[in-house]
Structures are given as structure tokens and as C-alpha cells.
A and B are shown apart, each in its own frame.
Chain A
């Protein structure tokens, strides 16, 4: 978005003034501030009124050219004469921008307005299990309100329209948003008699994505997502080890993960190397602290060390760490293997 001043012809269109031109007086200056009194009516492109000073029975007063109002006004009103009436047709960059809402699939089918931003780097994928709070509105009437856990792509089973499934794939954990669905993404031509909704109706949903678990997939995730998943997995492991004995180790590990997250400015090669490098360091920790919960990283690290050697054959650290990995992996007992069996299958798949 550019903040350059643009001439009217680029940004806005001023239709012919509807009334005769008024008096040609320069707005009076009051101590350097131009105070302007206007009456206005604001309409959307489809003609729907959204704001009007007439409804308040009071003119709207503001200081011109001070950035108090949307850009279109600061530019447009400055060119007006007292008593003049005109239309200002404004492009989003001169009005409310797109910060208000997003067209998720660029086809006007689903518009999202975020009420509260979520967090983290990943989104649910198809097949992910999500836990959401959902309220559905049609023509101002609420027809649905529930907390539900389901699999993305299978919202139908819970009378949830496909638009919600699609939108969820773009949401972040903890996000609270409003979704405007066109019928195509809603209940289509059939409508939903169960909720008293006719065919070809637009819907509004308020959704809170409370939590989600991504579906199992091949490890093609980018660095960020991979790490986040690792963290989730590690958290699960932590639950099994409640003693404070490994507390220091966990705190250190957390720091490392966050450092790793800062690496994405580097080239592919470099980032892989730095990852494995830091993982090596934190394998040291694993050795010293005997933090068994970190075991799932050994396999991952081993692969990465091999990559390090490809890049930097002289890297002694990597060489020794690989043997350490192998040794350590063997040392762990079966009980722990079973706990992490799930994760191991994934790694095995990757190695194959």
C-alpha cells in the first residue's frame, strides 16, 4: 500500500457537483487549523448505507488535512467550496483499506474479519482435528451456536457449511473472526430446513478456533511448522516426566527452539546446517541431563547431521554427534520407545 499523495483521477473520482457551486470563500483559518462542518452519507458499492450524519441530526466537524479522517476526505473535501454537494467515489486505499476484512479465496465467496488475532506459525490442514466455538447468523437471526470438535473437511456431519472448513485452513490457533459466506460456500441452493434457512442465502458466522491438531502427513512442512510440531510433540512428552529434575533441560530446549526460529533469513543450506548444529548442541544437553523426553529428536538430528557432512565434510562435531546419536538411541529402553512409537513411525517413513 503506498502512502503517496495521488491526484484525484488516480485515487478517486469526483462526480459533477449536484448543486450550484457555493460561495467561493477560502475556509476560514482559526489559528492555523481549518475547521470544517459537513453533512454526509456513506454507502457501500452495492448501495447499502452504512453511516450518515443526518441520522445524528448534527453536522460532522473535523480539522482538515490533519489525518483525522480517511484520506479520501482530507483530499476531496479540501477541494470543495462552501455549500457544494458532491459524490466521492473512493478506492479502498483512500478509505478503510483492507485491514478490516480479507477476501480469503479472492472470489468474494468468503470474507474474513479478524476480531482477535491468533498465534503460532501453522494452520489446520485438511484432515486436522479442530475444536471451535461457532455461532451462525442469517439475516440477523442466530440459528446455530455450539462448541464442536470435528475433522476439517467433514464439517457437514455437524451441519457446518464447507466455507467454514475452507476458512479454518487459513486460521491460526486462538483466532476469533467473523466470516461472511456467499451461498456457494454456505448451504447452497438447498438451504438448511433444519435451521429454517432458505436456498441461496448469505450467512454470517462467528468462529473461535480454540485448538487444533494437524493431520499426519509426510514431513514436508517448512522449518517453522516442523519446529512447532516438534514443540507440540515435546509438550506431550513432558507430561510424562513430571519431576523438576529435567526442568532446566526443558527451559534450555525452549530457548534453542526459539533461536532456531530466527534462522529463516538464511539460505536453505545454511538454515539446515544451523538447525542441525543447534540440535547437536542440545543433544549435548540430552547427554548431560539425560532428558529422555528429547529422544524423538535423535533420529531427526542424525539425518540432519548427515546433511551437515554433505555441506561441510570437515565438521568434526557433526561426525562425532552422529555416533553419539546412534549410541544414545540404542541406550534407551523399550518402555520409552513404546511411548514415542508414534513419532518413530514418522521418522522411519522419512528415512525409508
Chain B
């Protein structure tokens, strides 16, 4: 203990000695070496964990006579040189003196403030963002605390900008304002974009929500909140002549702007400042670019924000109120396809479920022509039997509405419907189609056809199904029957084979091995293989049953008409 204590004294003494020497010198005589010594001594103090003492020294009245600019650079370099677990601690300790020094700088304050904020955020960015409730409460590296300390640090400069704005429009410290905007944009991207921002049980003051609120406050106070929300960052940026640089800036700001929209529209932070008169369709349009960007990400924290933002925009709208014209915007076509990708490829099941819910919401909001167009698009692009089956079910629901409630629905009756049915009631590869893989879609199509045949009398033929029956038989029913027969024969033969082989050799021969997520699955015994084959046969039986029923119904109805006519 005494040894450490004396070491402290040594380091601090050394520092004080150097500072005293500096004070004696005139500013002009203050040389780089002296400054270096100051720096090294200071660094040693920090490294040895004597930050508190260092602080004392710096804040000492006498020491304030030191050139603020040099002191500023010194502090900045201290920050730059910390790393790992010390970063937050160091930054928090140095914020106060840094602020004092900055407030003293008259010229080029804006530049220095910007530099400080940028440096600090740079040092924080590599740190992992606490996500779970436990991580946030622990705040092991001190990031939550540090972020809020930084935003407090920035407050006097915000006040300065606000005061200048009120004074006159000429004396506008544009530079300082710009530096603050840069800081806010950076914060929106890190840590806010990846942070957990929902209210958490048991945490009264959520540090990241607090931080987010403060950032939004800053933007609001300097008058930049609403302009940022409506930045159409597809248009040319005025700052850069070189398009490449403009593209880079746009990409960097895309994350921040998306996060800003999320904060306002999903977490309702700063929503009191937001004009309420916008139409929900317009708000959806404005947010589509953000949604599209967020949905392409794979990190759960970012992806879920995209889904939440999309959902909140849709919930504001009335059903059937979104005009089909909106589908002319590329985002409106791309985003549902992104949802399909999430549904079918994302390993996180709750994300997939949520995507499906949101897709249905999206469908519900469109007017009839919009629904029609969207169905066509998704049938052609989703490449997934389950999704196709789901869309076909939606089509059936719309037809049902057209037949029972909406008597002037031209999109789900008549020739428009016939064209859609061509897509639905067909086998992609004719009789060669893999019936197992496409079973979801095939069953949905058969159910739709059965519904049409029962519900739409041939005399009415509102849906046009009777007109196009010949084509349906040729493109769908016939190849399906052929395919079924072939598949069943094939699988039955396989089963017979396996059973015979099994009798001969009681070994569990594996035909192939399957690896899932890096783990090799246990080999399938012949018993298991037989089970799979039986399940396949069962699926074929199922399809065949419905097919038989449909054919039966068609026959009955056609016969009835013939009898009538004879």
C-alpha cells in the first residue's frame, strides 16, 4: 500500500512539476517537447489509474492559466489513446475539463467541439451495445452512462446555437449547428440503431431511451428535427459535387434517418413536435425507403425496428385506403418481397411470423386493384410454395367478397380474374412438377377451384371459371393426375425395395448424410426412411382426394347443365 501511494505521489508530482514549468514559460516559448512531457506525464497518471488526481491537477486554479488550446489538444489525445475497458471511464472523467476548455475557446470553437464529439463517438463505437435487460442494468463497460454524459456535455453548445438563432439570422453560427447535427446523426447510428429501445419492466429510467430523447431534443431545439424526417435522400445532396462522395454520405445517413423515423413513429419520442396533418398514406410513402433499408439487414435489433416501423405505419391506415398507384413506387414492390425473404429464410421464427402478419396487413390496406397487382407480383416472385399457397388463399377470400358483397368488383371477377386464375391453376413444370415440394401451393389451388365450382353457378359464371374450364383441365387437372400416378408408383416401388432390403440385411445403411447448422444429423435408419416415404404417399393421397372431389363436382355440374339444355 505505501509503495502504491508513493508511486501516486511520484506520478502526480511529476505532472505538477511539468505544469509549473509550463506556466513560467511565455506562450511563445512553450515548445513541443514541453507539451510532450506534459502529455506523457498525464498519460502515465491515467494508465496507473490516477485519473482522479490528474483531474485535480488540471482543474487546479493555477493550471488554468495554461493555453486552453494546447490543453484541449492534450485532453483529446488522452481520449484518443484509451481503449478497451477504460474508454468510458476515461471519457466521463475528461468531459468536464474538456467542456470548460472548449467554452474558453473563442475562435474555431465549432471546429473543436465537432472534433471532440467525433473523437469521443469514434472511441465508443467499437464497444458492444448492451441489449438485454440484464446487460443494460449491468452496463459493464459503462456505455449507457457514458452516452448520457456526452449528451449532457453537449448541452451548453446547443444552448449557444439556440441563442444565436433567436438573435438574428445573420449571426448564425452555422458551423456549430452543423457539428451538432453531425453528432446527432452519428448517435442515431451508434448506439441507437442497434440498441433495445422498448420500455423494460423494472427499469424506470431506460438509459438508451433517455439518450434518444435527448438527441431528439437537440435536433428539435436547433430546428432540424422535421427537415431531417423529410429529407428525400434520393435527391442530389447540395454539399458534394462529386457524386461518389454524395453517395457515400447518403449511405451513411440512411441508417441514422431510419433510426430517427423509428424513434418518432414507433417509440413516439418527440412526436408532440410533429405535425399531425399528414395523411397516413403519405407517411407510409416517406418511410418506405427507411423500411426497405432496415428490412435488408440481418441483425435482429435492426431488422425488428424495420418491421415495427412498417407495422406502425400500416396500423394508422384504414383498410382498402391505399391507392394502387403507390405500387408504381419501386419500394412498394420491393418491400413485400423482402418480407417474403424474411418469412422464408430468416432463422428467427418470431421474425418470420411477424413478417407474415405484416404482409397480410399490407395486403389489407390496398384498394382492390392494388391487391390484384400485388398478388400477381408475389405469385411470380416469391418462389416458395408456402407463400404462394398463402397468396392463393387471399385470392380466394377476395373472390368470395366479390361474389357476396362487392358487386362491382372488376378485379376478382370476369376477365381480370381469368388471367389471374391462369397463374394460379397451373403446374409450373407440368406433370414433372415436384408434387411434394409444391404441395402447399397445389392444395391451395385445388381448394380455390373447388370453391369456384361450388359457389359460382355455370349460369352466372361471374368468375369466368366455366369459360376457362377447358384450359384448367389441360394445364392443371390432367398433368396433376398424371404426376400423382407417377409419383405414387415411384414411391410405392421405393417402399417395396426398402422393405425387401431390410429383410436381407439388418444394417442401418445410410444413403446420405445431412448437416444442419454445422451439426451432422443422426443417420436415418431404414425405419425412418420408410416413415418419410409413407408420409409422402399420404400427401399424394390427400391431393388425390381433393382432386377427385373437384372432378366429381365439375362432372355433376356440367351434367346438370347438359340435362337442362337437352
Contacts and interface: CB of A to CB of B under 8 A. Distances in A.
A322 to B, nearest CB: 17
Given A70-B279, A100-B316, A117-B361, A265 B535 contact: no
B318 interface: yes
A56 B278 contact: no
A8 interface: no
A248 B447 contact: no
A296 B499 CA distance: 31
Interface stretch (B242-250, B339-347, B393-401): B393-401
Contacts of A265: 396-397, 400, 451, 455
Interface stretch (A12-20, A228-236, A283-291, A341-349): A283-291
B280 interface: yes
B531 interface: yes
A177 B126 CA distance: 37
A178 to B, nearest CB: 11
A114 B315 contact: yes
A55 B396 CA distance: 50
B318 A99 contact: yes
Interface stretch (A22-30, A160-168, A211-219, A255-263): A255-263
Contacts of B451: 265-266
Contacts of A73: 277
Contacts of B539: 252
A209 to B, nearest CB: 15
A352 interface: no
Interface in B253-281: 273, 275-281
Contacts of A116: 311
A133 B280 CA distance: 29
Contacts of A96: 280
Given A51-B275, A67-B279, A69-B278, A289 B311 contact: no
A60 B275 contact: yes
B201 interface: yes
Contacts of A266: 451, 454-455
B434 to A, nearest CB: 16
Contact of B454 (A51, A256, A270, A278): A270
A117 B358 CA distance: 9
B393 to A, nearest CB: 5
A289 B535 contact: yes
Contact of A263 (B447, B531, B534): B447
A180 B103 CA distance: 49
A272 to B, nearest CB: 14
Contacts of A270: 454
A71 interface: yes
B275 A53 contact: yes
Interface string B346-368: 00000001000100010000010
A277 interface: yes
Interface residues of A, number: 50
Contacts of A115: 315
Contacts of B528: 245
Interface string A238-268: 0000000100110010011001001101110
Contact of A288 (B273, B281, B534): B534
Contacts of A42: 276-277
Given A70-B279, A263-B447, A284-B541, A119 B357 contact: yes
B321 interface: yes
B279 A117 contact: no
A344 B546 CA distance: 30
Nearest to A244: B528
B440 interface: yes
A147 interface: yes
A136 B202 CA distance: 15
Nearest to B542: A281
A117 B311 contact: yes
B293 to A, nearest CB: 22
B317 A99 contact: yes
A236 B549 CA distance: 33
A45 interface: no
A266 B454 CA distance: 8
Nearest to A40: B277
Contact of B320 (A1, A40, A267): A1
B99 to A, nearest CB: 29
A99 B280 CA distance: 10
A115 B532 CA distance: 43
Contacts of B431: none
Interface string A85-125: 00000000000111110000000000000111101000000
Interface string B529-559: 0011011001101100100010000000000
B444 interface: yes
B439 interface: yes
Contacts of B400: 265
B201 A248 contact: no
B98 interface: no
B282 interface: yes
B472 to A, nearest CB: 19
Contacts of A145: 201
B531 A248 contact: yes
A97 B318 contact: yes
A46 interface: no
Contacts of A252: 535, 538-539
Contacts of A119: 353, 357
Contacts of B444: 259, 262
A3 B320 CA distance: 9
A64 B315 CA distance: 25
Nearest to B326: A67
Identify which of B226, B534, B541 gathers the most chain A CB atoms within 10 Å of its CB. B534
Interface string B425-461: 0000000000000011001100100010011000000
A1 B318 contact: yes
Contacts of A98: 318
Interface string B294-326: 000000000000000001000111111101000
A236 B443 CA distance: 27
Nearest to B274: A51
A289 B397 CA distance: 34
A60 B393 contact: no
Contacts of B531: 245, 248, 289
Nearest to A99: B318
Contacts of B321: 1, 3, 97
Contacts of B549: 277
13 contacts: A3-B321, A42-B277, A67-B279, A69-B278, A119-B357, A245-B528, A248-B535, A256-B542, A265-B451, A265-B455, A270-B454, A281-B538, A281-B542
Given A114-B315, A255-B439, A262-B393, 8 more contacts: A62-B277, A68-B282, A69-B278, A97-B318, A117-B357, A245-B528, A262-B444, A270-B454
The 8 closest A-B pairs by CB, nearest first: A51-B276, A248-B535, A68-B282, A97-B318, A265-B400, A99-B318, A69-B277, A281-B542
